[in-house]
Amino acid sequence: MEKNQSFDLEGRVALVTGASRGIGYHLALELAKRGAHIIAVARTVGGLEELDDQIRKAGSSATLVPLDLHDMAAIDRLGNEINERWHKLDVLVANAGVLGSISPVAHVEAKTFEDVFEINVISQWRLIRAVEPLLRKSDCARAILFSSGVVHKPRAFWGAYAASKAAFEVLGRCWADELKNTSVKVNIASPGATRTAMRAQAMPGEDPNTLPSAEEIAAKIVQLASPDLEETGQFFDARKNRFLTYHVPD
Rounded average pLDDT over 46-71: 97
Whichever domain contains 115, its CATH number is 3.40.50.720
Q: pTM of the full predicted structure?
A: 0.93
Query: Within a domain: residue 250?
Result: no
Query: Within a domain: residue 152?
Result: yes
Query: Within a domain: residue 7?
Result: no
For the segment 171-181, what is each residue's pLDDT rounded down to a tens digit? 999 999 999 99
For the segment 118-149, what is each residue's pLDDT rounded down to a tens digit? 999 999 999 999 999 999 999 999 999 999 99
Residue 6 has pLDDT above 60, yes or no: yes
Structural domain harbouring 20: 13-244
3-class DSSP string for 132-165: HHHHHCCCCCEEEEECCHHHCCCCCCCHHHHHHH
Confidence bin at 5 (pLDDT 50/70/90): low
Confirm whether 246 is a catalytic residue: no
Residue of 113, 161, 168, 175 marked active site: 161
Query: Within a domain: residue 6?
Result: no
Query: Within a domain: residue 137?
Result: yes
For the segment 193-226, what is each residue's pLDDT rounded down to a tens digit? 666 676 767 667 667 777 678 899 999 999 999 9
CA distances, 131 to each of 34, 75, 137, 138 (Å): 22, 9, 10, 11
Query: What is the model's pLDDT at position 212?
Result: 77
Number of domains in the chain: 1
